Amino acid sequence: MKRRTLLGTSLALILSATAFAADAPIVIKFSHVVAQDTPKGKAAEHFKKLAEERTKGRVKVELYPNSQLYKDKEELEALQLGAVQMLAPSLAKFGPLGVKEFEVFDLPYIFDNYDELHKVTQGPIGKALLGKLSSKGITGLAYWDNGFKQFSANKPLKAPGDFRGLKMRIQASKVLDAQMRALSALPQQMAFSEVYQALQTGVVDGTENPASNFYTQKMHEVQKFLTLSNHGYLGYAVIVNKKFWDGLPADVRTALDGAMRDATKYANEIAKAENDGDIENVRKSNRTQILTLNPAEKAALRNAMVPVHKQMADRIGMDLITSIYKETGFTPAQ
């Protein structure tokens, strides 16, 4: 009798645990490395809001900004292991994963503006690139814009010769390594969360980033000059653990797909204004002098860096590079 009661109690417990699991929301841990007040940070918040509203609470999106959970390299490993479900790493960070083709986005001057970029990210080339992630256990959902990168240092960077011998922090991309070497600088690969301190202590002399990252990481406190060079693009692929995504109930996945579509629209609408606003914030801080380039200075920098396209063709694939040239109308000489 006593045994039967015990059995009954355990059965009841198991049943109630199952019922709880069925009621418990599906949690999406979304980790990223930038501040909340950036295009990516804001878009992640927008996605959370839409996802939770549209699934009526069946999905809970937990945001972990500013590398509070994982740094650059760790977050990709965590996604593959299923410790987090969603990330939006910059396109420069997929090389170490074995998907080198994404480094095409890092080629200096390959995009002159967002319109040219969107022909790639919102067209068949972008889609095919996302498809390459599935063999890594990753599903690519969307591209989110940040913006065009500016060079910074404690000395004015206007001509190729100004970079000689400077230690410049880069993301984990061989194209960015080649780009800095083309300027006779010394590239130093480093996680984003470590950049402020490295600049402050002189471990590196300078860096490159869109203004939104520069300002929100307070790099203007530790860099005297910011050159509006717009020499390359930095944006993101929003990615999820494939097994997790494929295992979602179909109606939930459909709702999340819709939320992602709208969050992407939002991200890409705010990115330019956010970066323009942060250039003004840097200016107002009076800590960093903002430098502009005249046409001859722009041409000299461009000429020094564009040979990187050819140098990197073996790594990225000349066909991919050419297909982007065709979309954007890029010509090496300008």
Among 29, 31, 34, 293, binds ligand LMR (CB under 6 A): 34
Per CB under 6 A, 148 contacts ligand LMR: no
Question: In the window 171-190, what residues touch ligand LMR (CB under 6 A)?
Answer: 171
Question: Nearest approach, Cβ of 153 to ligand LMR (angstroms)?
Answer: 15
Question: Nearest approach, Cβ of 159 to ligand LMR (angstroms)?
Answer: 24
d(CA 284, CA 90): 28
Among 67, 188, 209, 223, binds ligand LMR (CB under 6 A): 209
- # of chain residues touching ligand LMR (CB under 6 A): 8
Per CB under 6 A, 230 contacts ligand LMR: no
Question: Nearest approach, Cβ of 47 to ligand LMR (angstroms)?
Answer: 16
Question: Nearest approach, Cβ of 30 to ligand LMR (angstroms)?
Answer: 13
Among 31, 188, 213, 227, binds ligand LMR (CB under 6 A): 213
The answer to whether the CB of 40 falls within 8 A of the CB of 146 is yes
For ligand LMR, the closer of residues 139 and 146 by Cβ is: 146
Per CB under 6 A, 275 contacts ligand LMR: no
d(CA 53, CA 67): 26
Question: Nearest approach, Cβ of 52 to ligand LMR (angstroms)?
Answer: 23
For ligand LMR, the closer of residues 213 and 227 by Cβ is: 213
Q: Dihedral sign for Cα 304, 209, 325, 97, please.
A: positive
Residue found by looking up tokens 């919102």 in the block: 122
Strands (E), the chain: 26-31, 59-64, 86-87, 138-148, 150-153, 167-170, 186-189, 207-209, 225-227, 233-241, 289-291
Question: Nearest approach, Cβ of 312 to ligand LMR (angstroms)?
Answer: 19
Per CB under 6 A, 268 contacts ligand LMR: no
DSSP letter for 138, please. E
d(CA 113, CA 198): 30
The answer to whether the CB of 209 falls within 8 A of the CB of 234 is yes
Among 192, 214, 266, 330, binds ligand LMR (CB under 6 A): 192
Per CB under 6 A, 204 contacts ligand LMR: no
d(CA 211, CA 94): 22
Structure tokens, 320 = 């991919």
Question: In the window 79-98, what residues touch ligand LMR (CB under 6 A)?
Answer: 90
| Residue 274 β-bridge partners | none
Per CB under 6 A, 267 contacts ligand LMR: no
d(CA 235, CA 90): 5
Instruction: List interacting residues with ligand LMR (CB under 6 A).
Output: 33-34, 90, 146, 171, 192, 209, 213
